[in-house]
Amino acid sequence: MNRPADGSAAGGEPKPEDLDLLETIALAVVSRRMTVPAILFLESTKPLSFLGSQFLYFLEPIVRSLIKGDQYRRVAVLLEDRANVERLLLAIEAREAESGDRERLAKQARKQRAREDKARRSTRGERKP
């Protein structure tokens, strides 16, 4: 088991760059529209977070061929702590809420434009193509 020297995964407060990494993961999950499966997976495996992080260490040689940098190991270290799993869940839920708000506003804007176009066509006597 490889823990950082500062013990950030051992119940301590994660470093700002670790929080940024969790945010990056949350954004990636939401942008791929994988929020529900990710939340279901993380909630159901939260009690086994340490075991899951050890499995990530097991997969590291394979994944390292695909991912560059040290982020993979940082994720494994972070997910050893259930508090960080909860932080990730909260970040995913917050990003999803923001995404839903943006989508709702965009949908309202599209409907408003459609109503305006329809009103404009009806005043000029045009028909919908």
Given this model, what pLDDT does residue 27 score?
92
Q: What share of the chain is helix, strand, coil (3-state, %, to 5)?
A: 75, 0, 25
Q: Say what percent of the chain tops pLDDT 90.
A: 32
pTM for the whole structure: 0.69
Mean predicted confidence (pLDDT) in 63-90: 86
Q: Which two tokens stand for residue 11?
A: 């119940």
pLDDT band at 69 (very low <50, low <70, confident <90, very high): confident
Mean predicted confidence (pLDDT) in 25-32: 91
pLDDT of 87 > 70? The answer is yes
Given this model, what pLDDT does residue 18 score?
92
Given this model, what pLDDT does residue 104 score?
83
At residue 33, φ and ψ (nearest 5 deg) are: 55, 40
Given this model, what pLDDT does residue 123 score?
82
